Structure 1
Amino acid sequence: MASRLDHYPLPPIEDLYTIMTGDCTFTKLDMGNAYLQLELDKSSWKYVMINMHKGLYKLQFGASSACTVYQYVMENILRGLPRVTVYLDDCAWGRPPPAAAAPAGEGSPRLICKPSALARHLAQSCGSFGREPRLVWGGWPRLHTLYNGLWPAAGELRLAREHLQMADGGLVALDWALGEREAPPARAPVLLLVPHAGGRLTRHASGLCRLALRRGYRPVLFNRRLHNGVPLTSRRLLPLGDPSDLREALRYIRHQHPAAQLLAASEGSGSALLLSYLGECGSSSHLTAAACISPIFSFQDWLQAGPFRLYRWLLLLQQKINLSRYATVLGEIIDTEKLFRSCTLRELEEVLFCQSKINNLSWASYWEKNDPLRDVDEVAVPLLCICSNDDPCRGNPEVTLPFELFETNPYFFLLLTKHGGHCGFLTSRSSSWSHEALLEYFKSVSEFFRAEERTKNQCRRKISMTSYKRRGEATHKKESVCSHNIHEIFNWQRSYTR
């Protein structure tokens, strides 16, 4: 009888060393009879249980899943303990010198993630991660939210629009932000921004584009079908959980800018589209790194409960205005009368995608296909999520933030602040702390990958020289490495993310 193999990953030794870097004293514990201490479900007893004179031991050494099951159990027991590492039945604890153990300030952001070399690099190199943001209107999260979401931006952002036709005839648009100076160089990193579900260019998104231009990025806004003035040329509308249009847009950008790094950021409810893309594409993604500002993780619950009343009403109104321009054409596939009578975001979503003449799905079946976190285990790109505890749109962080995901998946990083609202984080009326933290994160990730690339090149050279001496060859070939190939550089973590 073969057992079902559990694919829970074992951590690389390099990551365990990284957690203990800087420690001066260590304690190590070795668990006795490790696997034999675990109990299994009764359905598995007849396959692995052995009978001994001291009792019944339910998990044998040699079972195919024993090591991964034990690693999962130990990591969950010791989760949250600082500077503690575990590898199967060995547990180690390191203690830093007294000067290195100073706690962060009470109001500083918390970086919640699984310990890794990249996580340690981010904590050391991103200064904004360890400083308390000095926000205006700190105790008024709704004021942050409404000001950045509704108030017009200071000055007009120059945009150059490019329409892309999809395979089914539908159109999406890329709005390239233009600076006042000359065009950025060909190798300037491209920053794709996915707006919120309403599709309108907000003060928040405009401010991020302006700052990115000043920092040498090439920002571009992704506009979905029917959003932000994009004409409707196909009767097919895509939900936020379908990333097919975003995938084609990124392929086009990669073709147009082959030498540039591709980065992506999203705001608010637009994060559902970015999360769906990262999960669906996995290691085939064209992105080097991604970030979400005030993301909505449980989109189904968010549509059912909804944000606070004013924000919900404005988002619903924006959606109806976009759809009203093509009411006659849409009337052929959906009940437009019921659509424009809808009073909640859930009713609008159901009429568009569950009760149309093309699709007839239940609410539960619809979310099985469109949940943003449905393929979260396949994400293979570093993703930073910037959130605040007082976000009035997302709700209670203890319920709406998947802390376990950030603590167990090495690709997910949560930067949690005490205040900031929803896509707010205003340090003045024209600047946002989240923009600074996001661009600092992208810069730090790029530096980390370049350092890893140099290390790999040195190892290759040593191996090549060794082969040269052994074989007595006169020449040897030097491999070329693409500077933005994240999957080759990052594969030291791939071994424990599948």
Structure 2
Amino acid sequence: MALFVWDCFFCLLPSLLFFLLCLGLRWPRASCWTRQTIRAARPRFICKPTALAKYLHRHCDSLARPRLAAWPRGDPHLQTLSSLLCGEVRDTIQFTRDNLLLRDGGIVAVDWAVGTGQGEAAGRKRWEGRKEHQTGGKALGCFTSTPPVLLLIPQHWGGMTPHLKALCHQAIRQGFYVVVFHPRGTAGCPLTTARLTEFGDPADLEQVVAYVHSRHPSSSLVAVSEGSGSGILLSYLGECGSSTYLTAAAAISPVLLGQLWFEKAMPHIYHWGVLFHRKLQLRRYASSFREVLDVDQVLSSPSLRDFEESLFCSSAQSQRRTSRPYSLQGLEPSAAWALGERAYPAKDWDSYWERNEPLRDADEVAVPVLCICSRDDPLLPPASALPIPLFQSNPYFLLVLTDKGGHCGFTLEGQEETEGGSTENEEVEEGSWSHMAVLEYFRVVADFLKGEERDGGSWGGPLGEYSQAGQRNRTSNSNTAAPRRRRPTMMRRPRPQAPEQSSVDEEEGNFTWKRSYTR
């Protein structure tokens, strides 16, 4: 009898503990203590202590005080699945599509958001109200009298997630022009060449940026990547350097180390979902690839790494796939020249990442890049694998690391509590903190660059400490320059040893924020 009682007790113990926990959270004092504990967990702002970093720390309130949702809404898996699969956007966003013909004959899709009705009109009015009418038509920061253009880059596997749609909606409401870049063969984009975009191949994005700039030459251009879409964005920023048309960039839950991400053991449900989606894309164009690819072998890949290696590396293919250039597989010689080294399949897995690792040219980046990461991200390697020395030594890279947020989640609390413990009458709009943070970051950077232009009077000149290693000059136009061979190292210039942790409160370095325009 006693044994039966103890068995019942241990069976009911988890439910009893859960009930007591819920009861404690409903107790006002315990609930207040819980909120204070959550608020005390401030995100880490890891960066080189430059003037821009200190300006962001003082003026970008969203980065310093995120109101992230508590459990259960703050559960990393719940946030991740909600952002990727089942999120909700209040207004229906309408898009108009441009199919852009590339140099090698391929096509990518460029979707322009044409508004959400009243939300867009209100955003335009707010934008007009924030203009600073000055000589030359300059507006807020480095933004011109026309609204800025926000270029969005989806996940590597393509498509519009609820997370990206919500960012579109928020940006439109704040007065941005919004455009979405879809790589080859994704989101219904027609595939005209037997070639898909490699993980870190920025050639297509480079042409898209030039096209968007030509459509809005008087508008400032900024870009945000979602998740694995950072592979293309970071590669583009490194290859183009100071010749880019972008003023600033941000990456939400970025894949900073591509090879590690493909080799890391992802939770099975996410791994299966991403792999299934990639196989569906290839199966749609299977007949077009059979002459140059063993499609059945690729479709039988058991993992993301095997799929990527079989698709792009000649060493993983059967004898049917040769190392001939794509120009001999249906492309014109001029198109193969435009592809450069990517006209040939990568020799093996390591050589594939020599030319596609997102941070291979990190020391060439010439615009500020904000990376927002979470420690509980279930799709990315652990936070201990982040390249912290890069953010501590490179003034163009800034990292905000939170304790929770999931993958592209960062769900906000529904209400804001005052210091006295009472709740405000007006409910704060629910959404994603990362959306609010990156949009405010762009505006604060614009203000800072405007002040630098006003104080310095010129954008030219040496790049501070980088002048010791040589300026980053690109004398040839990015649309006509021949592709150059990449070295396998991620950061080529030697870096001084940095302390274990860096923040904007540390001693200011010698870096002076100057941007070099060479085009």
Fold-level match, TM-score > 0.5? yes
The 10-residue stretch of structure 1 (127-136 or 264-273) with the greater mean CA deviation from structure 2: 127-136
Counterpart residue type for residue 211 of structure 1: Q
The offset of 1:489, in angstroms, is: 8.9
Partner of residue 340, structure 1? 299
The offset of 1:194, in angstroms, is: 0.6
Give RMSD over aligned pairs.
Answer: 2.1
Partner of residue 144, structure 1? 79
Q: Which has the higher contact order (CA 8 A, sep 6+)?
A: 2
Q: Which runs of 5 or more residues in structure 2 are unaligned? A: 1-37, 129-144, 315-320, 325-344, 415-429, 471-519
2:82 and 2:40 map into 1 onto residues whose CA distance is 27
Partner of residue 435, structure 1? 435
Counterpart residue type for residue 149 of structure 1: L
The offset of 1:292, in angstroms, is: 0.3
Select which of 274, 296, 317 maps to 1:315: 274
The offset of 1:132, in angstroms, is: 3.8
> Where do 1:117-132 residues align within 5 Å?
117-132=51-66
2:194 and 2:94 map into 1 onto residues whose CA distance is 31
Structure 2 residue 104 is matched with structure 1 residue 168: yes
Partner of residue 219, structure 1? 178
2:222 and 2:181 map into 1 onto residues whose CA distance is 13
Counterpart residue type for residue 388 of structure 2: F
Q: What CA deviation, in whole Å up to 9, does each residue of 1:359-379 have, x standing for no partner? A: 251111111111111111111
Structure 2 residue 91 is matched with structure 1 residue 106: no
Structure 2 residue 401 is matched with structure 1 residue 416: yes
Structure 2 residue 324 is matched with structure 1 residue 389: no
Structure 2 residue 310 is matched with structure 1 residue 325: no
Q: What CA deviation, in whole Å up to 9, does each residue of 1:103-149 have, x standing for no partner? A: x9631111100011000000000011221423153651111111110
Counterpart residue type for residue 406 of structure 1: F
Q: Normalising to structure 1: TM-score of the pair?
A: 0.70
Q: What CA deviation, in whole Å up to 9, does each residue of 1:313-353 have, x standing for no partner? A: 11111111111111111111111101111121011101110
CA contact (8 A) 1:142 1:392 kept: yes
SS at 1:230 equivalent: coil
SS at 1:169 equivalent: coil
Q: Which runs of 5 or more residues in structure 1 are unaligned? A: 1-103, 458-480, 482-486
The offset of 1:287, in angstroms, is: 0.6
The offset of 1:492, in angstroms, is: 5.0
Higher strand share: 1
* 417 and 328 in structure 1: CA distance in 2 versus 1, 3 angstrom threshold: same
The number of equivalent residue pairs is 366
Partner of residue 456, structure 2? 456
1:316 and 1:292 map into 2 onto residues whose CA distance is 23
CA contact (8 A) 2:149 2:221 kept: yes
1:451 and 1:147 map into 2 onto residues whose CA distance is 40
> Where do 1:345-424 residues align within 5 Å?
345-355=304-314, 356-357=321-322, 358=324, 359=345, 361-399=347-385, 401-424=386-409
* 260 and 360 in structure 1: CA distance in 2 versus 1, 3 angstrom threshold: closer
CA contact (8 A) 1:377 1:497 kept: no
SS at 2:376 equivalent: coil
CA contact (8 A) 2:264 2:381 kept: no
CA contact (8 A) 1:243 1:276 kept: yes
CA contact (8 A) 1:320 1:340 kept: yes
Structure 2 residue 142 is matched with structure 1 residue 157: no
The 10-residue stretch of structure 1 (176-185 or 227-236) with the greater mean CA deviation from structure 2: 176-185
Q: What CA deviation, in whole Å up to 9, does each residue of 1:447-474 have, x standing for no partner? A: 00111111123xxxxxxxxxxxxxxxxx
> Where do 1:478-489 residues align within 5 Å?
488=460
SS at 1:295 equivalent: coil
Select which of 268, 278, 291 maps to 2:227: 268
Partner of residue 341, structure 2? none
Counterpart residue type for residue 86 of structure 2: W
CA contact (8 A) 2:251 2:372 kept: yes
The offset of 1:288, in angstroms, is: 0.3
CA contact (8 A) 1:316 1:344 kept: yes
Q: Normalising to structure 2: TM-score of the pair?
A: 0.67
CA contact (8 A) 1:153 1:202 kept: no
CA contact (8 A) 1:125 1:444 kept: yes
* 268 and 311 in structure 1: CA distance in 2 versus 1, 3 angstrom threshold: same
Counterpart residue type for residue 170 of structure 1: G
2:48 and 2:73 map into 1 onto residues whose CA distance is 29
SS at 1:318 equivalent: helix
1:413 and 1:107 map into 2 onto residues whose CA distance is 19
Q: What CA deviation, in whole Å up to 9, does each residue of 1:396-428 have, x standing for no partner? A: 1012x1110000000000011111011000115
The offset of 1:237, in angstroms, is: 2.0
SS at 2:40 equivalent: coil
SS at 1:111 equivalent: strand
Q: What CA deviation, in whole Å up to 9, does each residue of 1:233-291 have, x standing for no partner? A: 11122202110000000011111111111100001111011010011111111110000
Partner of residue 445, structure 2? 445
Give the % identical residues: 45
2:85 and 2:461 map into 1 onto residues whose CA distance is 41
* 257 and 494 in structure 1: CA distance in 2 versus 1, 3 angstrom threshold: farther
1:134 and 1:366 map into 2 onto residues whose CA distance is 38
